[in-house]
């Protein structure tokens, strides 16, 4: 059996509302949450400003007071989502040493965050192409950061622990995918818990890259 995983517990226990507390005033936050809900059910293109205003119990004109256009709402939501995922992973990895342990904790934390925040994650992943290139910089940097982190641990693992990685970039993408794909199908109705699916992904990632006979610890 695996040891306890407080880093997974911490991510699961975090109140989703806390992601939005820095957004002020209250009416801006209410609009963002209404937009998240509308984008999640109707898609970015399908959700009109009127629809978002109605969900926020505000007038369409009020949307433009707080946000210049619908795309500004999407940009803010995407930034909050990526920043939150990055912080969750960084916090989980804080003080963790050694490529195997770090890869496992990455896979667990990344999966736990995406399952716990599946609706926000779904909008962040599926509506990303709606964001114009010029507004992508901050978000693209965080996304590259996740892949760079995984590639770095894979490289260290090859040198220090004999990892077998035939295609470094491709394997890093697969490892990142294992967490992201959860936003497509996970919901709390599922029989599997967030902790179980996080641990399974941590285990499978190690089995993918570690030399035979060393993955059981």
User: Could you give the CA distance from residue 53 to residue 55 in angstroms, rounded to a whole number?
Assistant: 5
Residues between 125 and 154 that touch a second copy (CB under 8 A)? 125-126
Residues between 109 and 128 that touch a second copy (CB under 8 A)? 125-126
- Helix-strand-coil split of the chain, %, nearest 5: 75, 0, 25
Q: Least distance to a second copy from the beta carbon of 42, Å?
A: 4
Are 52 and 27 in contact by the 8 Å Cβ rule? The answer is no
* Residue from 30, 118, 171, 194 in contact with a second copy (CB under 8 A): 171
Outline where 5-98 has alpha helix (H). Answer: 6-13, 26-46, 49-55, 60-66, 70-93
User: Could you give the CA distance from residue 204 to residue 217 in angstroms, rounded to a whole number?
Assistant: 13
* Residue from 167, 188, 189, 217 in contact with a second copy (CB under 8 A): 167
Count residues near a second copy (CB under 8 A): 36
Q: Least distance to a second copy from the beta carbon of 133, Å?
A: 14
Q: Least distance to a second copy from the beta carbon of 156, Å?
A: 19
User: Could you give the CA distance from residue 126 to residue 36 in angstroms, rounded to a whole number?
Assistant: 12
Q: Which of 145, 153, 159 is nearest to 96 (CA)?
A: 153
Task: Compare residues 152 and 184 and give the one whose CB is closer to a second copy.
Answer: 184
| Greatest C-alpha distance within the chain | 64
Our finding on whether 96 is near a second copy (CB under 8 A) is no
Residues between 30 and 89 that touch a second copy (CB under 8 A)? 41-47
What are the residues binding a second copy (CB under 8 A)?
Answer: 41-47, 125-126, 164, 166-167, 169-171, 173-174, 177-178, 180-181, 184-185, 192, 196-197, 200-201, 203-204, 207-209, 212-213, 215
């Amino acid at each position: 059996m695996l040891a306890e995983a407080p880093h997974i517990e911490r991510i699961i226990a975090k109140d989703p509302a806390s992601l939005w507390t820095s957004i002020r005033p209250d009416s801006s936050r209410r609009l963002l949450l209404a937009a998240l809900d509308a984008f999640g059910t109707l898609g970015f293109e399908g959700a009109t400003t009127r629809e978002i205003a109605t969900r926020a119990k505000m007038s369409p004109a009020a949307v433009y007071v707080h946000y210049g256009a619908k795309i500004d709402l999407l940009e803010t939501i995407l930034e909050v989502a990526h920043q939150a995922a990055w912080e969750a992973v960084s916090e989980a990895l804080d003080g963790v040493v050694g490529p195997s342990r770090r890869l496992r904790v990455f896979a667990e934390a990344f999966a736990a965050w995406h399952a716990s925040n599946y609706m926000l994650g779904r909008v962040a992943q599926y509506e990303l192409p709606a964001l114009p290139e010029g507004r992508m910089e901050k978000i693209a940097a965080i996304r590259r950061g996740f892949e760079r982190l995984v590639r770095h641990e894979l490289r260290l693992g090859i040198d220090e622990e004999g990892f077998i990685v035939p295609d470094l970039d491709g394997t890093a993408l697969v490892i990142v995918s294992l967490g992201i794909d959860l936003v497509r199908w996970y919901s709390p109705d599922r029989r599997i818990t967030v902790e179980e699916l996080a641990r399974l992904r941590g285990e499978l990632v190690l089995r993918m890259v570690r030399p035979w006979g060393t993955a059981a610890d």
